[in-house]
Every structure is written in structure tokens, then in C-alpha cells.
Structure 1
Amino acid sequence: MVRWSHSPADSTIGEVGKIIPRRVAGGSLAYPQASLLGRLSERTREDFLAVGVSESRPAGMTIISQGETDSSALLLLHGSVKVQATDPAGERTLLAIRVGGDLIGEMAALDVGPRSATVIACTDIFFKRMTKAELRNFLARHPDAAIEVATMLSERLRWADRRRIEHGRPASVRVARVLVDLYEAYGTRSGGHWDLSVPLTREELASIAGIKLSTAEKIIRTFQQEGLVSGRYRGIAVLDMSRLRQRAEIA
């Protein structure tokens, strides 16, 4: 673990321990618009970045474990993580991905229950760890941030509800909807295609869609033949988002 005594507002981390400036024109930090930091005003965002302790973890490390009683929240500043849960039978399910700008572990900081999921770093990550008291005090001082956190939690609940509701839909529609949701929220557009910064395996895609791995693989092959996606090792590129949305039956 690496800690910094200076504020992270002027930098992010690439290789663990190596600080890399990450500002855009005008001097402000660049975060996805859908992320919590991307929604906040510049003043509120800078105040939030001053809360907690700066830390880093290398790719592959578990930063939150399901069932543990720690109640800190993590504000992810750089890199990406996967959120997964294991049921009593030992079956593991990928629940979500999170990227720089997202708040993770907030449920344990806002209620009294144990961790509901495990969070694993997909890349080297840089984040702020804040105690339950620090997060709650910040939200009490910044009602605008509290509203955005409530909105974020609502959107995550809607995501989970959609996955449950879609269990009655054809498997191909469910896979298409998962891809559209993930890539529009966390993907980057390059030329005519969309890439996802987080490695997404076929098994993980199947777990989010709630289908068997063999079924997911068949659907991806069909999407490839139709020119909707291109397959690659531990990843998928979306080639035609408009037609993929049609396959997902999204207006």
C-alpha cells in the first residue's frame, strides 16, 4: 500500500507509486459524466477530494471483501474495479464495474450491515479511503452531493431491477442490453466502435445476464457474424451501437 500526504486533486496514479498529472483543458479533472465526481460542481468536487486518506492498490488485489464489517467508503480516482458477490452455494456473480469518479463501498458506510460484495482491482488503482463519519459529515455539509449520492444509489437499484426483470426476455436480448448498458456508461468511443476499459470475460458477461456461459458464447458469435461486435481476448468491442440497441429492443 502506498499513501500520499498531498492532495490527489492535481494528479492520478499510473504505475503504483508513480504520480501522473491528469487534468484537461481549463485545469479541471476529467471524470465520466455518469460518475459521482462527474456530476458534482467543481467546488463540491474539490471539497470531496480533500476528504479521507489517499491510497493505491495494484491490479488483481481485493480491496473490499464480502461479509467483512469494515465501514469505510472508497472514492475511486483512477483505474477500474469489478464488484462481485458469492451466494451460499459458492456461485460467483459479477454485479457491476466501477471506474474513476465512482464511489464504492458506500452501503456499509451508510447503514450498519456487513459488506454485501467483493471488490477487486482490474488495473492499478488510486483512491481516497474515508471513514463512515467522514463521508456522513461531508454529505451533511454538502446537500448537493447528498442528492447526487441518492441519485447514484437509485440508478444502481434500477440497474439491478432491470437485470431481474429481464430474466423473462430471450437470452440474446439480455446480453445485448447488458452490453449497451455497460458500454454507454463506461465505454469509450474510438472511431466507429466502442471499447470497455475494464477486461470483461464471457463468463462475467454471462453472469450479469443470468445465462449459461455456453449460451453467452453462442450469442457473441452470432453478434460477431452480424457485425455488431468483435471478439478479443478478455474483451469485446462494440462495432455498431445503433444496431446493438435494436437487438436489445431499446427504443
Structure 2
Amino acid sequence: MDAARGDGEPGTGRPPHAGEWPRQSLLGGLAPHARAQLLALGVQVRYPADRVLMREADATDFVLVLLDGVVKVTGRTHDNRDALLAVRMGGDLVGEFAALDGGTRSATVTACGPVVARSATRTQFLACLRGDPHIAQGLNASVVAKLRTATASRIDFTGCDVATRLARVLHQIAVRYGEPDGPGAVIRWPITQPELAALAGAAEPSVHKALRRLRESGVLSTGYRVIRIDDLAELHRIAFA
């Protein structure tokens, strides 16, 4: 099925976990009336795990408002490898760059597990932005946050060792997407160690060693499709001391 349509259905039901999106996400940060407009935009779609939702260099221009699930954003490197650029979860928006400037897709977006979203055409999306300044302001803040994160990552890659970069990546994910759990947080999304290495800009063996040290020191523990940050304060100290 075409990625623009997904497994589409009219969006008349209550979205999963409505009102429980992270505060830092687009949906979580909007006022209720503005959030309701985004939740009514387009149609509701569902995607299975591993479905490519958007493909780098394609000329599609629809946007997806993620309601539930996790997607990964990847780009093709000069040596024909897939580099993990970011992860997005329920509450986030993907595809807005092509919708805003009419250009081709800058990256590939793939479902890491089942995903539920609102799919809107470029025309619908731009009309929504023109019609509500609160949504436009929220989108601007979301785009700036993404650019700030990308800039910080570039600086980290040149100025920090692998352990520090990995700690910063894990801390950012835990704070933005993790479920609070006592002094720590639980990250429930299936990222592989090669993908984690790509996010940290490091070789996989180096990330293996850094993860082992974090486990041995009691900072985190790993399980099937789960990373549990047991001591978020200590992870912060390692990442930013």
C-alpha cells in the first residue's frame, strides 16, 4: 500500500493515549483547542512494524501527526549505509519539511512497531497553519527544537568521547520519551545497538563497551525492546559533567 495512504480509515475515534503525549512534543505542548484541530486533520491511518512511511528523495508532501508508536528517521550516507538521525514518538510531527517548502523528502521514516497517526495533505496542513497562529507557533517551536538537537549532536560528535555522547543520547531520549519510574525512566522502543551507535556517532564495539560500563555501574539495565534508566541523575552527571 502507498505510504501516503497507509492502512487508512476515517478518523472518528479517540486516539490512543489522548492527552498523554510528552510535554516537549508538538501535541503535548499545544493548548487543548489547537490540539483538537490537529487531531481532526486529515484521516487516521495505521501502519504495521517495519513499514516505510516516507522515503528519502521522494516527492510526496503529506504530513503525519503521530498519535501512538515509534518511528525512526534515517538517511543514506555516501558509502550507502543507513544512518539513524532521530526517533519520533506519539505527539510528534513528521514530514513537515517537505510540506512547508515543497521539496523532496530529506530522510526516510520507518515504523519501529505498530503506529497510529493522522495523515494530512500538504494543502490541509498549510491551511491549518494559516488558520490558527497557536498551531503555527507550536510548529515553529518544534522545528527549532529539532534543529537545536541536530546542532548539539554535531558539536558532541567533535568534542566528546563515546561514553559521553552515548550518555547524552540516552538522557535526551529518557527525558523526552521515557516513562518516569522512581529515580529513573523506562524507554519502551525497539532500538538496536547499531542504531544506538549511529545516534551517538560511534563505532558499534565502542558503544557495546560504554553500555556495559553503564550497566555495571547501575545506571541502566537492558531487556527485550526496553532500556531502563535506573539512575537518571547519575546519567545526567556522566553526560554533562
TM-score, length-scaled by structure 1: 0.89
2:59 aligns with one of 54, 69, 93: 69
Q: CA deviation at 1:208?
A: 0.8
Query: Is the partner of 2:110 in helix, strand or coil?
Result: strand
Quote the Cα distance in structure 2 between the aligned partners of 1:164 and 1:11.
35
2:199 aligns with one of 181, 199, 208: 208
TM-score, length-scaled by structure 2: 0.92
CA distance 1:11–1:249, shift in 2 (3 Å):
closer
Q: What residue number does 1:133 align with?
A: 123
Quote the Cα distance in structure 2 between the aligned partners of 1:36 and 1:208.
22
Q: What residue number does 1:190 align with?
A: 181
Describe how 1:157-236 pairs up with structure 2 within 5 A.
Answer: 157-167=147-157, 168-236=159-227
Q: CA deviation at 1:144?
A: 1.0
**8 A Cα contact 1:61 1:121, kept in partner:** yes
Query: Is the partner of 2:104 in helix, strand or coil?
Result: coil
Describe how 1:10-159 pairs up with structure 2 within 5 A.
Answer: 10-12=14-16, 22-23=17-18, 29-159=19-149
**8 A Cα contact 1:53 1:130, kept in partner:** yes
Q: What residue number does 2:3 align with?
A: none
**8 A Cα contact 1:202 1:234, kept in partner:** no
Task: Output the amino acid matched with 2:93.
Answer: L
Q: Percent identity?
A: 33
Query: Is the partner of 1:46 in helix, strand or coil?
Result: helix
Q: CA deviation at 1:36?
A: 0.6
**8 A Cα contact 2:15 2:67, kept in partner:** no
**8 A Cα contact 2:11 2:40, kept in partner:** no
Quote the Cα distance in structure 2 between the aligned partners of 1:89 and 1:207.
14
Q: CA deviation at 1:55?
A: 1.1
Query: Is the partner of 1:217 in helix, strand or coil?
Result: helix
Q: CA RMSD in A?
A: 1.5
CA distance 1:6–1:106, shift in 2 (3 Å):
closer
Extract unaligned runs of 5+ from structure 2.
Answer: 1-5
Deviating beyond 2 angstroms after TM superposition, the runs of 4 or more aligned structure 1 residues are: 1-8, 190-193, 231-236
Quote the Cα distance in structure 1 between the aligned partners of 2:83 and 2:205.
16
**45-54 vs 205-214, which deviates more?**
45-54
